[in-house]
Structure 1
Amino acid sequence: MGFIPFMQDDAADRVLETVARRLIAKGYRVEGLVQHAENVEGQCCGAVDLEDIVTGKRWQIMQALGAHARGCRLDFNALSDVAVFAEVRIRTQPDLLILNRFGKGEERGGGLRSVFEAAFVADVPILTSVKQPYLDGWQAFSGGLSEPLPADAEAVLTWSCKAIGEARRVRDVA
């Protein structure tokens, strides 16, 4: 497992999407989700979509609660739909799974945690990003079996190709 630690979402999101597109162009089978965020006037926070890397299908995962809303705006029903979709895609045994992030929901056992778990059980390499406040939760989840990566597309691409090669060797032996 590889992860990009970050404080601001944009750089990590761009790197994950760039790496996904480049790996697919090289013929690798990449599954997963990338995030697209945009500011929405009159709302306390912007809109956030998750896009399936292969199909382009998008889910809006934030609820519009108004300009003065406080607290979590995640739409847990939408996130549940995304998780079911992504878990089915893991069954195709992709070369790499990219999930936009491991965050508060995953740290608490929800969000897309079941997708991370399904990929781990299926021996599919995982690439994600983790915001600084959730690094301890990520380390506990990954059991120290993950590698921090810089928010640099070339470095992440190199790591991804190496992880894919190692996973293929393990599958060939099994």
Structure 2
Amino acid sequence: MNTPEIPVSWRPLFCGAMALLLGAVSSAREHVPLTVPFHKFSQTLIASDDHGATWRFVRDLTTEFGGIPINESALIPWRDGWHYLVGRNWTQPLAANARAPMQLCWFRFSPETLALETCVALDNAERNNVVDGYYATAHWRERDGVGLLNIVTYKRADFVTAQRTRSFHDPDLVRLEFVWDEVK
């Protein structure tokens, strides 16, 4: 079982603006994933009214945010009444000549105000250099009466071996599992 890290202070780069933009569609209680169409870092908001049998275009978020490189996230209106966003995030400011560690984060939004309520780092609390990853999807299950959040994603990290050389490997497909009451 993974223990989530809850940052004391966090500044998601794009989530506040994204929440405001999603207000119009979130009130309809649709499952609204964010998808990458055909351009690198392009983000389109689509929605389904029939449990994924058909999809319709809602908005081009990349254009509306002035061309910022957002991608690889999913918005989930859940039956507990909250809205959740899962995706890659940087919980430290990006320095001019350095990259802050990327993490997989779970955000909870108020459906009424769209204010961010919580942020939980689900992966990379140790702040390793994740070079690619976190196109995550969430699903819930129950085991022995305990609600569990499962996240399926991919991750590729570079690391230093005992000889202090960089090693690269193909992305790993990973499933992370959390006690729902600890991360919601």
**Is the shorter-chain TM-score for this pair beyond 0.5, marking a shared fold?**
no
Instruction: Pick the structure with greater CA Rg.
Output: 2
Give the TM-score taking structure 1 as reference length. 0.29
Determine which structure has greater relative contact order: mean sequence separation of CA pairs < 8 Å that are 6+ residues apart, divided by chain length.
1
In terms of fraction of residues, the more strand-rich structure is 2
TM normalised by structure 2 equals 0.28
